[in-house]
Every structure is written in C-alpha cells, then in structure tokens.
Structure 1
C-alpha cells in the first residue's frame, strides 16, 4: 500500500457537486454514498476550513501509454461523521474515489409541475465528477430554435459537453452525455437510473433519467482505452418507489482490470447505512491472473443508538494481499467514543500505518466571529492537533502539529460563517461552512507557520438597490474567495525569528453573461428580506513574492508571475525572478492560431503548440509543435536558431498506429528510429535505430505474436518463448547494421528485461506484491537487491 498522505492544503476553486432532498425520491442507495463525496465539494479540504485531507491511495488503473491518470483511493472527511443522509459503502466518514458519475439536480414538490407542465419548466442542472475534474452544467431550451442547449456552469474547466437525447418537444430525457477534456479525451456517461418520485403522496414515474455513470473512455483518435461495468439491482417495494442499486463492478483496459466486490444485505435497506458495502478491490493482468488485492474490512458498530437502524458502519482496516492471498501490509483505523458513557460513535482518532507508526488526530468544535446566536447550531469539527508516533508502544509523540485559528496576536476567532449557492441544499438547509482568515500551525520544538487566507469578506458585498429592510446585494468574486485563497505565509523558528515569507496576489475577473449569475443564501435575513447575488469569476493571473532570510547574511529573494490563457485556463506566461535574474516563458495554444483549427474541432485546446524562453530579455529558445495534414498527434517540432532566426525540424514524428503509439521518428541528422509495439499495442518491444518502421515491421511479426501470447497466458513458459523470439529478432542478418534495444514487460508492473545493443541483458524480478526485488545479469548474478519489511499486525 502506498503511504498515507495527509495533505495540509488542496485548493478547490469551483463548486463541484450538490445534492438536494425534498419530495423528489431519488435513488436512496446512490445518495448515501454520493452524499459522502459531496462533502469534499460543499467544503473544500484545506487549512482555511480546519479540515485535513486524509487520503489512502490504493492503486492506479493500468491505462495504455499512460494516457489518463485514473487513481483509486479512500478518503476521510470529518464532516461526514455526522452525515444526515446515511453512511457510505466504505463506512462512516469515508468515501471511495473510483467511479465517475453525473447526476441531475432534483427539486422538491416542483418536480410534480415539471411533469405536468414541462414546456414551462426551468432548466435542468447536472453535476459531474471525472477523475478529479468536477463541475456542473445546465440544459435549457433555446427560445428561438426550440432546441435544448448545454451551458457550462464551470467554465474554467474548459470541457466540451455533448448530449444524446430522446427529448419530446417539451421535455428533455438525455440518454447519454459526452464530456471532452481539453486534451481531446472523451468520457461517455450512459443513463442508468430512471427514478420515480412522490407527487402529493402518490408515486409517479418521471421518465427522466437522474443518474449517469461513466461507461467508457475514448482517446482523441476515437480508440476505446477503458470500459466500465456496473452491478445493478432493482427492488420493487409495494406502494413505494423502485429502488435501484448501482455499484462499480470493473474497470477494464488493454493492460489489465480492476474489479470491485460488494456485499448486499436487504436488512440494511431502511437503516442509515448503504445496504451494499465494499469488501475487496482486485488488480488483475490481461490474462486474468490476480496481481494483488485489497481487503476492505468494515462492521456495524454498537453505537450510537440502541435502535439497530441508526447503528453505523465503520471502516476497521485495509489489508493488501499478494497473488496467493497472503497479507503484505495492513492499515488499521480507530475511532473515539465521544458521547456520554461511550454511547456515541466518534470520529477517526488513529491510523496505524503499514510500518507500525501511529497518526493521531484530535478535533475540536468550530468557532466563528459572526456568531450572534446565543444557542448557535454546531458547525462540525476542525483539527486541533495531529501527533505522530514511531510505534504503538511509544507514549511520547515523535512529532506534534498544533493548529490555532484565532486572529494573529489576538484571542478572538478569525473564522466566519459563509453560505453556498441557493441551490446547494441538504434537507432543506443551506450549505454553510466556516472559513478562517488566519491559521497558525506550530510544531513542538521547531517553530510555527502563520498562514493568511483571502476570504469573501476581503471583497465585501454591497447594496445595489432596495431598502434597508428589503435590500438587494452583490458579492463580487464569491465563488473564488469562498474557499479561502492562500495570501501570505510566514515561517518562524521557536524563538519567533522570521525565517521566510511568501505573499501571493491574484487578478480576478468575472463573467458578465446572465448564464453565470449566482444566487447566494443571505447571511442574516427572514424570508424575502434580502437577496444576495454574484457572478462566476476566475483567476486571470497570480503573483508571488518569496524571501528566505539568513541572519547577518542577507536574503534570497524570489518573485514569480503566472498569467493564464482565458481560452483554456492554462499558463500563457511564466516569469521568475531570483536575486535580479529574470527568466520568462511564453506559451500559445491551438485556439486562434493558424494551422491548428482541426485541434480546436477535436477540443484539443490544452496542449501548448508554441513556446519561447528568455533570460534577462535575451531569447534562449523558441519551438513550435506541428500537427500537419489534419493530424491530431504531433508530426514534428520546429526549433529556431537563435543566431539567425532560421527554423529547422529538430524532431520528426513520422508514423503512429491507431492507438496513438509513435512507430517512427527521425532526428535532425535524418536518421530514423523504429519502435515495435507488442502486448496488444500497449508496450514497446524493440527500438531499432537507423531503420524505418516499414523495414522493421515485416521482421517483427514473430516477437509481436509472442508478446501477445505472453500477455494472454502470463506464464513462465510464454515469457521464455518471448525472450527466445527477441533473441532471434536481434540476430536477424537484415538488422545487423542497426542498433537494437529490446524489452519485455509485465503489463501491470513494469519492464522485466532490457537488452541494449551490447547484448548484455538485465532481468528485473518482482515479488508477489509487485515490488522490484532483484536485478540480475544474463548469468543470473544479482546486480541489485531490494528488501521490504513491515511490522506484523494481529488479525
């Protein structure tokens, strides 16, 4: 298992997901697990909120050619320990990040009118989550064309959203959505959940699809690189809605498969728990052989109620097993019982790591300065300190981090209670959260860090019209500042001597179109007394100043600036200044650049095609990536000779296969290099310097077939057959004049052998957990050895 990552700061700038409950009865089971995910969106994970990011990375889905990063992990959010929707399929407070989904926002009793009077109805709002990229969009009817259109309500994501529907003239019923990223990859979301809801206590079938799940990923060449399967079960309850359970079953690629095992218990249908719970995640190679697996152990606790329906599932441990189902390592979780007489199941208190160390978390109640209610609602927990122990025996922490949220040099809280958009509702209550202006993080015996954040109050709302009783306000840049942007960071030693500081400034801009109007829940109001609005905004540029101070030796000063291209929100200009030395980089992207319109059409707008570097105003380099003849893949790189401003091809990419694998390239000297792919076009088998691909291809059929067979069988015999075929390939008389390097692979682990032109082969041996263990030479002698040791755990 990869080590636990407790990140202190993950900046989320945009609203990602939202959930509503009311009369509309959407998929209860889906909602339980989705609601735990929404906590990462309603309140971002960063120090300004007092919520630490507790992340357990498990594995990455094996994608061909590293095309898409698809991590699978478990994450804990302290806000979920008191989740009103119910407990997720991995336990209280925890969320599984594995499946991507899209769902329609459901209203309350208004859903009844949507069915009866569809042509008069408002636009639909959809939320999506794609491998860490999340946002929302609306579908509305164009009053002129009478066609349904998609409006991207997270415009800085720069995704292209397509829709396939079987709409009537008045009511849209999308069957499938396609989301294309700025790299040209397409994510297909297919409808799965067709829900019913109650209208005036009478079950009606809406005919509107509410939830869509990712079904496949396609590369820019329209080649399928991953497919997803789901476990679906429907349950008809007389007099009630149809309940549909949907869980991710497998993710398949040409390099392997990740499968998920869930267990179902009908007795949990009407409890706070998801009746499905995750029990196992398995990684398999293309031959179907298990590489390793994770056992997810959960149980229903005895707390917090004597009512079995209110007892919550908790995550006990995660165990990684090898190919033979034997334990490699284990991570254990402990929870505090914070209620009276131990009758309330508490929040996550300890994590025992695979190495035997202990990470201990202590929380406390939030406090905030705009709290005028003598009996305020509880706003959840914030981190108070984190302690690290070498092992379970030590009573003294090796390291302690203490968190203070008061105004610097003061005793009052720097926190302020903010609200989300008006359509972000849970149980009829607006989403609210605390953002702290100042956070002080002290480490026992080492000093402290003072962090200052930009909050909405740094750009306060102002009245645009109305009276003092019925006022209308506008709050600028709210969607950006509501998360708490880092503004200043000062590092001090234990004697309060300033060691370094960093200051960050931003340039904000806002969209003017009415599609990007945002309604905010008023802070102080009774119904109808206040209206607060904003507009979606974005960051155009970021400036940063840093200094490292050395007593009696001066300082090292740095400045940097990043300007963003507003057509794709990628860096267009990067400047860094260190003690007066200035470095600059300029970048242009396909949009509005002659010769790249076909990339725009394919929505490949996030790839830089022209770059230039300078130092102290002097041009150092200039290059241009060409995509000639309508190619969606690079065909050559032009480099500029600084002396005379002439251009020449520094690298030519001559040929690709249908998967986007580069088959041949030519260097500046005009010498070609051929690349032979095997393992069903997923990995390089041979590199032949000096030969063209056409010259090498006809001689490579045997090694390609042998690699495909090795991938299919995955046996020692099939690998030996491949090694023999590669040896024969290298010795072919026709190739004797070329420099040849050959490779073998385990599709899920990595390279298993390399043979350079010298003919000296090295073999890479892995243990049953997929970790590199030995490197041997051709005679079997050990060149390098790796050892891994973990403390044992009691079962």
Structure 2
C-alpha cells in the first residue's frame, strides 16, 4: 500500500509566503512509546529506531539514518548484519548483483579453468569461443536445423560443461527509500543498457569499461530520481568463491574444486547531487573489511534396483551421493564518513572479531560500535553507541544480536534503547523447517509428530526474534510473534490438514513381530489415522527375500491394491501414514520368499484420531505478529510472559491480529505463492546394455526409479510482499477501539500458473504487484456496530521481460565420462564401445546406450519475469450512523486517473454524499536543466471543478535563468477564479546557487529579502520591504562572515560577536525604512535567538539531548523553562 499511498498524495500549491524562516522552537514530544505500523497482509511489523535526521542544503532532501528490523531475518541460516540479527542500518545505498549462471561479463579460456567461461555478452567469435545466446536464442530450432554442428556443440558446452552463460544477472537497488530490480541487456548496437524488472520512476545509467581486454566490466551506475537529483554508485565490492564437491559412485569417489574468479557483487553510493549539480552528500568507505560465509548442501540418491547401482559407474551415471560446500568471500565497503556539505559530518566506527557460528573469517568480521554526529566544525553533537551480544545456546546457530543503543554527547550519557529477544527452550531437538526456520517437529517426516500436548511445536519458529523494545522515555513495546499458517497454495484450497499435528490426538500404540509367514488383523477403530513404522529396509535387506504389506477387505473379501510396509534405504526409519476407512477391515501380511531367511521383522503402529473440529490450516512459511502490547510502566522485557493470565502491569494499549477467514474462522486465509519447498524428488534412468557372457552377447534394458533426498530445495521460493504467506482476511483489535476487518488481494486472487515443481525448476513470472492490495476495510466500534466501510478497485499495467533461458539435460542422458563434445562425438559414431572400468560380467555397451546428439537430449525454457503498475481505480467510502436503533448510510465515491510518465495522480473525481461532483486535475512540469535528468514530478498546475464548472486554478511558473543556478525553480505562483485569466500571487525574484530563496515579491508589490548565513545553510536575516539592490553588499558580507565564524564554534558558545554584527546590520541608517528580523543558531540543534523588528530578542537554551530547556530575554530573564521527567 505504500506505492498506492505515494500515488494518492495529492500535490499542493501553497499560495502563502515561502516557508523558509524557522519557527520558534517547541517542547519535545513526551510520548512514552511509539506505535509500530504493521503490514496486515503479511503480518510483518515495521519496527524502526530513528537515529539521525538532518537537512541538506536542498529543501527537498533530508538525510535520514535509522535502524530497521525484519523478523524474517531470524531464519536459521541468516547471517547477522554488522549491527545485529534482523537489524539493518539505512544510511547510504547499494546496487547489488545476483549472479545467475555465470557473471554476464566473464570471459576465461579453457586454459585458465577446466571448462572455460563465456559470459552472455560475448556473441562474437573470440579465440573460438562464441556465445550464441543473442544470435540464436530467439529461434533455437532453426539454429539446430541450419547449423547442427555449432548447435550441438553449443548445447553440449552449455549443459554439460557450464561454459556459456544464458541468463542475465539480476541487479537490485536500495537507497533513500527507493527499491527496484533490473538487468543489463546488450542492444542491437552492441551497447549495454538497463532494462527494468520492476515499476520504478528512476532513470538508471550503467557504466562499463575495458579491464584487461574485457570491454564489458561494470564500473558503476548513475541514477536520477524524479526530481532530477543525481546519485553516483561507483564504490565496488568484490566477491569470489570456491565450491568443493565430493561425489560418490558405487565404485568410486571423486573430489573436485571449482573456483569462481573475482567479480563485482555490488556498488555502494558515493555521492548525491542536487539538480543544479551541487554536491549534497559524500560517502567515504573503509576498505579493509572482509565478510565470508559458507553454504553446504547434501544430496543422496537411492536406486530401487541394485543392478543399476552396480552398473552406474560404467557410464558415469548419476552418483549415489553428492556433498558440496560453497564458500564466498566479499571485500565489503563499510561506510566510514558521510559528509553533508556545509551542514554536518557523520562518523562510523567498527571493530573486528565476532563469534557467530555461521560466518567465516570471524577475526575479520566487522561489528558496528558507534556512530557520531559532528557539526561543520567537527564538534560532537550526538553519539550512538551499540552494545551487542549473542543468541542463546538453544538454537541451531549462535549469532550476534543488538542489545542496547546508548546516546551521549561528549561522554555525557543522554538516554538509551534496550532490546530483548525470544530464547525459549521448548525441549526436543531443534532443526530447520522447510522454509529454514527453527522447529522441533519435521512436517516432511511422518515419524516426527507432536510429542507434547501442552507445547505448540511450531512456536519454535520464533526462536531469536525481537521480543521487546524499551524506549528512552521508559515506555516499552512488546512483540508476540507466532508461526504463519496457510490453507491455500495459490488459488488451490488445501483439504488435508492432518500434517498439522494439532489435528491429531494419539489414542493407542500396537507392536507386531513376525518370524514366519503370516498375517495380523488390526482392530476396528472409527475415524482413525495410523502411522506404521516397519523394520524392513531395502536394499539392505536383500530385495525379493521378504515383503510386508497392508491389505484391506470388506465383507470378508480382499480388496484390490495393497500398501507396501517397507522402508527404502533413503529413509531406513520411515513411517507410512494411512487414513483407515471405518467401513473396511485391515490386516498386515508378512511373506518371506527365501526359505533360508529366518530373521524376525516387525512393525509398530501409532493410532490417532482427528480433532473435531479440526484446525483448517498448516503451519509454515516463517512468522507473523500476533500481538503488540504497549506499556508506560516499567516491565521486564527480557523475561516477559505473554501467557500470564493476570498480569500485574496492565498495558496502556494492546493491538491484536487474527488471520483466519471471515466466513470460516477455523480456516486460515493465508496462501503460499508456490508449494512448500521440496526436498525429495523421483527420477528414472534407463540404458540398453549389451553384456558379454559365455554364451555371447546378451542385450538387456535395465532401468530403475530413483529417489533423491536433499537438504536444499531447487524450486525457487517466491515471496509475496516480502513474506512467504499472504493473508486475504485480517482482523485487528485495539484496546477500547473495537476492531477493523481488512480484505486484500492475495495469491488466491492472483496465483502463479507457470511454475514447475520438477526439473528445470524454472521460476514463474511473479505477478506479486497484484497482491497485497486493500480491497475492503470495515471499522466496528466496541458494540460491534459498523462505523465505516471502504471498497477499492484496481487496474493494472502489465509487463513481461525475458531475462534469459534455462538449459538442462533430459532424462535420457546423465552420463559424465566425456570431458569434451569431440570425445562424445567420436564415441557416438562408433558401432560399439568397451569400458575397461566396468565389471567383467558386463563390460560392453553398444551405441544404443547413447541418447544421440545434444540437441535431442537437451531442453530449454524462457525465464520470464513479470512486473507492473497497480493503479487504484475507484474508492467507495460509506459512513454508518444509527438513529433509534436503525442503521443509516452516507456514501462517497472517488475515481482516479494517473499521469503516464511519473505515475502520480492526474485527476481525482469525487461524488459527494450530498450529490455534488468535485474534480481536481493535476499537471506536472518536466523541464530539465543541463545538470539534471528525469525531472518529471514537480507540480505545475492544479484545476478544481464543481459539477463540471471550473472553480479555481493555481499554477507555478518555472524558470531556470538564475545567476549561478540553472535549476528549474518557481518564478511565479499564479491564481485565477472561474474562467478568469491567471494573475500573479507571488513572484520569486532571486535564488542563490543552492536554491535558497533570496528575494520574493507579493502581489501588492512588497518585496522581502532573505540573507543566508552559516555557510548558506540557514536564514540569518529577513528584511521586509527591501530589494537585494537596496542593501549594500558589504552589509550582507559582514553578517554572513560573522555567522560563518559562529558556525565553527561549539554549541552553546558565546555568540555575542554575531549578535553584535546583526545589531549593527539592523541599526544601519540605510535600512531604517525596513522591518528586519534576525536569527542565530546552534548548527544541528536549533534556533539560538530570534530578534524581531521590535528589537526584543528571545534566546533559546537546549539540554544535552538537544531539547528546548529555557527561553530567556535579552537580559537573561527566564521566560519559559521546560523539565523532562520520565517515569522509571
């Protein structure tokens, strides 16, 4: 909803005088706690701690430093930031790259690495290396037909050797509130250009250069925002990696290493310029920090036929087991200094050395220790010190957490934030769930069911999440998170909720042992779920020797179909879950086919009944907020118990969230975009084999199903608005305010319809811009009476980009023994082959074992990515009131149109409750100076209509002909009523090079001059009735120089020299006809004094925290005094 809110922020044209003069300081807020906004659709609260917010020399641009927390960052494998787990410091900006396949610009010959690497841009023949992606990808079938030799070699090298890149890398930016995605495509002129993959309003220019003969090396980006401000990203972060692989075949073990060369993984923001080309911000970085992490993956493959396992190594077939360990090292660039031109300097200090268990090079890992704000003369204004600790030992990883933020000034303590995290030991053994969060129960394993009726096993997902914040005021916010739930995958409703262990109640356990052939009847139990744990494992127990199965019968007659009660080697301690039909009988049949087999076999059966009514949801997909409590009184945030029934301290406010369907409160309204991650897959291998025996050649076709078990999911996981689960219905209860009901668009309304759950695991287009939009909001009072209702409709502009192709080898071929396509081609053209490595009993395979040319066993598919623009089309608002118990309604309807360039509101039409039709049209100025681009969002004109009759018009006339400034700035503000001509309301006569207004004239001809001091950052004098030409330049220079000198002094200094200069200016005879107001400041703190035309000065004194403490007159008499006393 943030994008929509931005779209609907109707621009205004202020008809009053310019607001460049500071008001008198006011008392600081005494709010005990800060309310935390929540994204109801995902259940993710927007938790932040503001640190620094200071202006720049541009009125349109402030520098905002804050910490933001995201609860999804507690997933087991997530790495804590340099602040602490879940916390991110938003200070500068980054454009980061995700490598897809190979780096787009990589070019390495075969001699430098085993296979060589050729990036996607190299579509010319360089040393016999030619990536045909740009030339042939649009018509691969024609390529295969007209150039079969080149096509087969290209397919082989792409799939078998990973030589050619066929997917563009993904670039993502995050800076100053702007986020988005793009890739870089080579156009028909051979130039690399940015192609959007999200709906943003920026102009992005990529830069690349020739490094060591590679002409496509990225060197940075320039971004222009919609006001024409320029952002330079040219501070590179370099990453590299190495992947170690251990592959086990039936008769061999291979180990290999693949080193990824240095590549640019990110560019950090270095400078920000205004649209007059003046430097606003400069970022300097430390260069001596490195961060590293390792990612291990495990895959094991189990064949159902022992004979295939025996022969697998003959053709370099699929391995039995593969373990990989990938290590990545990044030369990170940590912010050292931010310089706000003529305003401030911000210093960042880090120390090295951390104890996180999931990072490498611990001794070099950085930790942010403090941030210091300095004024332009390097005097300390405020310092933030960070205290970190580590998560408890209950979880799978130990990671750094932020525990406290202390604020001080020149060593004097001011205040602090304290933070607490959940560390509850639920018992049992912790593991990762399908989405990577902590759990003590494995929903993928039928053997792993709930072990305690009193403990919700899914609450382990909240391990290490933020639990509480104690604010400097003494108030606290307590966060109660819980596991997400879902009842839909896309638009498909889930019907089987037995994987939710809350729905199972254990009733009995039986155990049977068999030493001979025989059967065992099961007891008749109504509505029963049984979990069988057999002891027979194949192929460890020789296949064909013994079997055990579950048979069903009805009316004494055995029914067709049986359930095998045998474990595969992939799951030697397997469980088989069955829903037993109460209208049928069941028996276990154990049969030994080998007369010499005398082992005993058994099965243990756990019986369960379904909970009635059942909970119609499954757990998973991370966590959501359940409840937020706000306290003014002192509470122990570290040991807080949300389950305490009679708390001794009552919260000042509680906000509670429910995510079930309005129509069926037992069913979750949550939906996944994709199915849950998959860690077990099945496949088939089949080869014709020609074996040499005593009787000659015997040709057999040996094939087998196999099962792959992995600790990672190859299927891409799509999030929705930053969460794994999106909720269609959400209820929010607030203390004393009734409740609200929200209905959103979700994957139920807009599912992904093009994803695959098997190879090649191609990602779907992702239409998430259509999800999470508010459709309906209802507000009820404490008596359940509806107060208001809002209904929204939307339209969409849809875009699809093909960002690459994914190639994979089909099921007909898995061989790996040929190093080059030439080797394979030679053998393919022979009549028969002999492989000495094979078993003596089967050492020859003829060419029917070969699947043919690569184009016949290789497949490919487009990688398409969708993005778009969601536009609020209509909004209906109803208000309800009650007279004598009867409900009455008023209704208001709005429609919106949008500017196609900047995508802001173009018109708003309102049909009011009393039948009036109001319409407002908005027009935007799009001029650019020689120093700006993409200036598309400045409001230029607003027209207001009532019942199709023009009521008034307001217009800003822009000009860029200013001395020392080429920016388009307001020249006039004009107004008119009805159809009258536009008339000047105020004229802006002069600006300085920073865009500071120096003179304006009202419609009655009265001009006002504003003089800027403190290095042109603050107005120090306002002269009403004068023009700039009426004031001697030497008079201006004198007070400007005095203010610049005062700016270099420490806060609270003796400013008598400046005040004297200002008095001299005020009392100059040449200015006696004018009304003069003068100002002095403590930079970054506030106004120090205001002297109006009467000459009666007020001065302002601040405490160490920068809060107004006293107001005194020119004689030192205290006019006002403020004391800040916080409870506790």
Structure 2 length-normalised TM:
0.60
How far apart, CA to CA, are the structure 2 residues paired with 1:517 and 1:203?
24
How far apart, CA to CA, are the structure 2 residues paired with 1:52 and 1:578?
35
Query: Could you say which residue in structure 2 is the equivalent of 1:228?
Result: 283
- Which structure has the larger Rg? 2
Please, which moves more after superposition, 261-270 or 435-444?
261-270
Q: 1:110 to 1:626 in 2, by over 3 A?
A: closer
Deviations 1:384-441 (A, max 9, x none): 2222233236433333222211110311111000159x9xxx9855244100100111
How far apart, CA to CA, are the structure 2 residues paired with 1:531 and 1:141?
17
Deviations 1:647-677 (A, max 9, x none): 3322222221111111122222333222111
Contact 1:331 1:352 survives alignment (8 Å): yes
Deviations 1:548-601 (A, max 9, x none): 32211844543333322120111111334442344332111134xxxx465996
| Deviation for aligned residue 1:92 | 1.8
Q: 1:750 to 1:445 in 2, by over 3 A?
A: closer
Contact 1:518 1:534 survives alignment (8 Å): no
Select the residue among 136, 139, 157 that pairs with 2:181: 136
How far apart, CA to CA, are the structure 1 residues paired with 2:95 and 2:1126?
40
Please, which moves more after superposition, 539-548 or 627-636?
627-636
Query: Is 1:276 aligned with 2:607?
Result: no
Query: Could you say which residue in structure 2 is the equivalent of 1:384?
Result: 626
How far apart, CA to CA, are the structure 2 residues paired with 1:399 and 1:712?
46
How far apart, CA to CA, are the structure 2 residues paired with 1:614 and 1:486?
29
| Deviation for aligned residue 1:329 | 2.1
| Deviation for aligned residue 1:45 | 6.4
Query: Is 1:720 aligned with 2:1056?
Result: yes
How far apart, CA to CA, are the structure 1 residues paired with 2:236 and 2:400?
27
Query: Could you say which residue in structure 2 is the equivalent of 1:350?
Result: 468
Query: Is 1:668 aligned with 2:1003?
Result: yes
Query: Could you say which residue in structure 2 is the equivalent of 1:24?
Result: none
Please, which moves more after superposition, 227-236 or 455-464?
455-464
Select the residue among 735, 740, 763 that pairs with 1:449: 740
How far apart, CA to CA, are the structure 2 residues paired with 1:123 and 1:516?
6
Query: Could you say which residue in structure 2 is the equivalent of 1:563?
Result: 897
Q: How does 1:454-469 map to 2 (within 5 A)?
A: 454-460=745-751
Select the residue among 241, 266, 272 that pairs with 1:211: 266
How far apart, CA to CA, are the structure 2 residues paired with 1:507 and 1:445?
37
Query: Is 1:502 aligned with 2:589?
Result: no
Contact 2:949 2:978 survives alignment (8 Å): no
Deviations 1:232-279 (A, max 9, x none): 215699x98764232112211121122222111176696378921122
How far apart, CA to CA, are the structure 2 residues paired with 1:471 and 1:276?
38
Select the residue among 946, 949, 958 that pairs with 1:627: 958
Contact 1:319 1:329 survives alignment (8 Å): yes
Q: 1:69 to 1:542 in 2, by over 3 A?
A: farther
How far apart, CA to CA, are the structure 1 residues paired with 2:785 and 2:413?
48
Deviations 1:764-789 (A, max 9, x none): 22111111122222232333332212
Query: Could you say which residue in structure 2 is the equivalent of 1:338?
Result: 424
Provide structure 2 residue ranges, at least 5 long, that are not aligned to the other structure: 7-36, 109-116, 123-130, 132-164, 244-255, 293-325, 431-462, 489-493, 500-617, 636-647, 678-711, 807-857
Select the residue among 56, 61, 75 that pairs with 1:68: 61
Select the residue among 647, 665, 670 that pairs with 1:415: 670
Contact 1:50 1:383 survives alignment (8 Å): yes
SS of residue paired to 1:379: strand
Query: Is 1:535 aligned with 2:866?
Result: yes
Contact 2:1010 2:1022 survives alignment (8 Å): yes
Query: Is 1:244 aligned with 2:289?
Result: no
Query: Is 1:768 aligned with 2:1104?
Result: yes
Deviations 1:61-108 (A, max 9, x none): 442244313221112221111252311112122222223111122235
How far apart, CA to CA, are the structure 1 residues paired with 2:906 and 2:470?
44
Contact 2:371 2:385 survives alignment (8 Å): yes
Contact 2:876 2:894 survives alignment (8 Å): yes
Select the residue among 650, 654, 670 that pairs with 1:400: 654
Contact 1:560 1:575 survives alignment (8 Å): yes
How far apart, CA to CA, are the structure 1 residues paired with 2:866 and 2:1099?
59
Query: Could you say which residue in structure 2 is the equivalent of 1:39?
Result: none
Provide structure 1 residue ranges, at least 5 long, that are not aligned to the other structure: 1-8, 15-43, 520-526
Query: Could you say which residue in structure 1 is the equivalent of 2:511?
Result: none
How far apart, CA to CA, are the structure 1 residues paired with 2:390 and 2:4?
33
Contact 1:590 1:597 survives alignment (8 Å): no
Q: 1:599 to 1:721 in 2, by over 3 A?
A: same
SS of residue paired to 1:201: strand
Select the residue among 472, 475, 484 that pairs with 1:366: 484
SS of residue paired to 1:536: strand
| Deviation for aligned residue 1:298 | 0.8
How far apart, CA to CA, are the structure 2 residues paired with 1:769 and 1:626?
42
Q: 1:529 to 1:492 in 2, by over 3 A?
A: farther
Please, which moves more after superposition, 472-481 or 720-729?
472-481
How far apart, CA to CA, are the structure 2 residues paired with 1:531 and 1:215?
36
Query: Could you say which residue in structure 2 is the equivalent of 1:481?
Result: 770
Query: Could you say which residue in structure 2 is the equivalent of 1:35?
Result: none
How far apart, CA to CA, are the structure 2 residues paired with 1:609 and 1:175?
37
SS of residue paired to 2:629: strand
Q: 1:629 to 1:198 in 2, by over 3 A?
A: same
Select the residue among 643, 648, 658 that pairs with 2:993: 658
Select the residue among 188, 191, 201 that pairs with 2:257: 201
How far apart, CA to CA, are the structure 2 residues paired with 1:201 and 1:695?
78
Contact 1:687 1:741 survives alignment (8 Å): yes
Q: Which structure carries more relative contact order (alpha carbon 8 Å, separation 6+)?
A: 2
SS of residue paired to 2:633: coil
| Deviation for aligned residue 1:60 | 1.0
Contact 1:463 1:471 survives alignment (8 Å): no
Q: 1:472 to 1:576 in 2, by over 3 A?
A: farther
- C-alpha root-mean-square deviation of aligned residues, in Å? 3.7
How far apart, CA to CA, are the structure 2 residues paired with 1:574 and 1:12?
14
Select the residue among 713, 719, 725 that pairs with 1:434: 725
Query: Could you say which residue in structure 1 is the equivalent of 2:820?
Result: none
Query: Could you say which residue in structure 2 is the equivalent of 1:157?
Result: 200
Query: Could you say which residue in structure 2 is the equivalent of 1:678?
Result: 1013
SS of residue paired to 1:355: coil
Q: 1:229 to 1:47 in 2, by over 3 A?
A: same
Q: 1:644 to 1:47 in 2, by over 3 A?
A: closer
Q: 1:714 to 1:247 in 2, by over 3 A?
A: same
Select the residue among 113, 116, 123 that pairs with 2:168: 123
How far apart, CA to CA, are the structure 1 residues paired with 2:937 and 2:176?
17
Q: 1:342 to 1:664 in 2, by over 3 A?
A: farther
Contact 2:276 2:967 survives alignment (8 Å): yes
Q: 1:351 to 1:437 in 2, by over 3 A?
A: same
Deviations 1:465-520 (A, max 9, x none): x9x999999999823123x1111111122332212212222122223x6468999x
| Deviation for aligned residue 1:10 | 5.5
How far apart, CA to CA, are the structure 2 residues paired with 1:571 and 1:434?
31
Count matched residues.
728
SS of residue paired to 1:366: strand
Q: 1:314 to 1:367 in 2, by over 3 A?
A: same
Query: Is 1:256 aligned with 2:544?
Result: no
Query: Is 1:296 aligned with 2:389?
Result: no
Contact 2:805 2:861 survives alignment (8 Å): no
Q: 1:231 to 1:790 in 2, by over 3 A?
A: farther
